[in-house]
Structure 1
Amino acid sequence: MKNSNSCALFISALLLLVLCLTTESHAQGNPQRGRIAGTVTDAAGAAVMGAAVSLVDASGAVVGVVQSDTGGRYVIENIAAGSYALRTTKPTFADARQAVMVAVGETTANVRLEVGELAAEVTVTAEAGNVVDARRIDQQVNVVSENRIAERASEVVAQVADEEPGVNLQRTSPSISGIFVRGLTGRNVAIYNDGVRFTTSAQRGGINTFLNLNEATNLEAVEIVRGAATSQYGSDALGGAVNFIPHRPVFGDRDGEFHGNANLFFTSASAGFGGNTLLTYGTERYGLLANLSARRINTLRPGGDFDTHSALTRFLGIRSDIFGERLPDTAFTQYGGLLRANFALNETSQLIFSYTRNQQDGGKRYDQLLGGDGNLRADLRNLMLDFLVARLTKQNLGFFDNSAFTFSYNGQREERTNQGGQGN
């Protein structure tokens, strides 16, 4: 009964807030605002027609979407002054993202599209509440693009840390991992999903059992702040902060627009396979996005068919390949989905809903079995994640250019069985 009352109270408060902000927007009329305009060209300087140009604020709200005309020109009107990410997409070109500062009046931002890897690095994590160019800030930050996520994270999302300077990946077993930032992990590295705290300072100091339930195909970027970020993210962010940035739905034209893609993968080292399907639909008033994913990671083949960490080798001096070239107890299955919706209440307000559901089955603590301690049983059964975010964004609220009100629910569940207790 108490939970039901709390939920009803939150919904009532949210509806009241929406009503107040919508009413205030009509009462204020149209305060001083700006517009952003520019030209989209290719590497040779030729105009690019039909490029989709979207403006996104630091909270993830899409405040404007247009297409470039025959001369490559675009204009987004009626924008509150502030910092934004300008994203430009066009088939056959790499996506372009750049930080822009919109002022009252007109702001010019030209876009150059390249063929190949995304070059511009934009971060919303290094300076909370702002969109900035990662190359022009004092704080050290790694921005992992969508292409690199797809290349690296074939099994678990923590693999995005591979090859990143100042960042290390720890995998004590195939299904659970930790990201080290400047030698620290666990409670000393704050993990965020869409700007909402995923971990807490109460967690243990090592790996995170549920980190990899953040599905890699849900993400358009990962930002890693290296170095103490305690002033922005709390006293426990001594190593830094990691922010998973999910795909966002975009608005379309009056008749609505469908977009989507499907991907498959296979990895020989684990004989793993899987894929995802991402679909979006947008109109002038709302945007919807759905992503469904599934993967099966089979037993791992170590380099040279030999595992030096195996309990057989460490305790008995026997080669691990006595049981075959692949390591037992290293397989698992993961599946889930992401649903997101953006609703434009009026010119200055948006409602954003996001729900993630992921589950991991059949995982085992290989480091506590033959891969390390030599125990007989260390099962990770039915790891489940339910992650809900509801966010109301508002421009020109009183003294604030931009404001956001966020509610989140983070449910993490497991059924763990260990020899001699519950393990660690």
Structure 2
Amino acid sequence: MAKKQTATIQIFIGGVWITAGEFDPVGSSHESGGYFEYDGDYDINYMPIETPSLRVGLKYPVNFGLYQENRWFAFLLDILPSGAGRRVWAKRLGITQDYSSDLQMLLNGAGNAPGNIRVLEAAIPPLKSHPGFKREEVVAKNADFIEYAEAQGAVVAGATDVAGDAPKFLLSRAKNGSWHPDGALFDEYIQDCWLVKFPRGKKEGDYTVLRNEAPYYEVARLFGIRTGQPLEFDNDSLFIPRFDRVAGEPFLRLGLESLASASGISAYGVLTYHEDLCKTISEFATDPSGELREYLRREILNLSLRNTDNHSRNTAFIKYPNGKVELSPLYDFAPMFLDPEGIARASIWGPSIEPRKGRPDWIAVGEYLGNLHNDEHDLLEFFYSFAEPVEELPALMDQVGVEREVIAGVEIRCGEIAADLRLVGGRL
């Protein structure tokens, strides 16, 4: 009889990987249940100083108890290969891509995910030596580079929550300037870490979306959204500096957990409601009021600039070693309304708050969130203050280099959202 397979979950703490506990699945699919128990030594060492970054997931404080769920723990879906990465692993392992292969995907492909947790059984040791590749070889998707990246498990999810087609590569740039798959280098040789992605498909809309993601990010920065370093577009490739990795002494892997995970959503492609995600932010953020406003600022901009790919894995908490929990810098923000596949919003407000699709009643939002670490009147003033900035977004987009076709596609919506925000003034 084959031995039952379990997954050893490790957390990166103080420059080393520490075994946090063991996941014992009921079945091979994430749709089945499972158990998680923190390791006894981990409990003894870290329970007295427990902070969110020391948890496998925000919903699971460090203790001596046994956790049980009817589906896999949601934090596992954050590190489970999907999209292009899942296809690569299926080919390498000779298994199917369907959910029945989830356990093998976890045990083989979750050894170097974004954030600060990994599955020990899936960890691929760094290579002792490899010359790496030049940036232009990465851009050209050189065949040897692709093989190197796949061997190190550096191909990650596609652009959408369910099954994105375009590969994204997690890469590290060495101090000598050469490029390597993330995990191929020892930490002391790393200069910085990147995510590189390519067009989702071969249609013109796919290229337009990718070309405009970098200037879209600058619009967000000027709009007051929390952002990371500028994105770099290079010949149909987008180089994105990672904010969950900080090279130096010591090398930091910061905790990164999606709102889906923190909300206990252990499924792909499900419709979620902003009300529920706001409750999650209110529960776990160090500064609930400030982070709710950051989330609302992003919602206003997503609606205005028609970034429809707003599922709950496209927003995450970043968990710092000092215990601070806040929304991570913005990511996956682009003119997705132009995507040829037609990406619908996956996070919406309930019907009493959003009677018209894409046009929330901001007064109703304020009334609802007034109970979550915010004063209703202050929130209404907050919404009203964005009417003019939203109206001016098309001009701002032009200033930072967003293409005219994209601007034309959002001008009407910006006017509509600005008008909706102005209506709030009647309650002030």
Is the structural similarity TM-score above 0.5? no
The structure showing larger relative contact order (alpha-carbon pairs under 8 Å, at least 6 residues apart) is 2
Q: TM-score, normalised by structure 1?
A: 0.25
Larger Rg belongs to = 1
Higher helix share: 2
TM-score (norm 2): 0.25
Structure whose residues are more often strand by fraction = 1
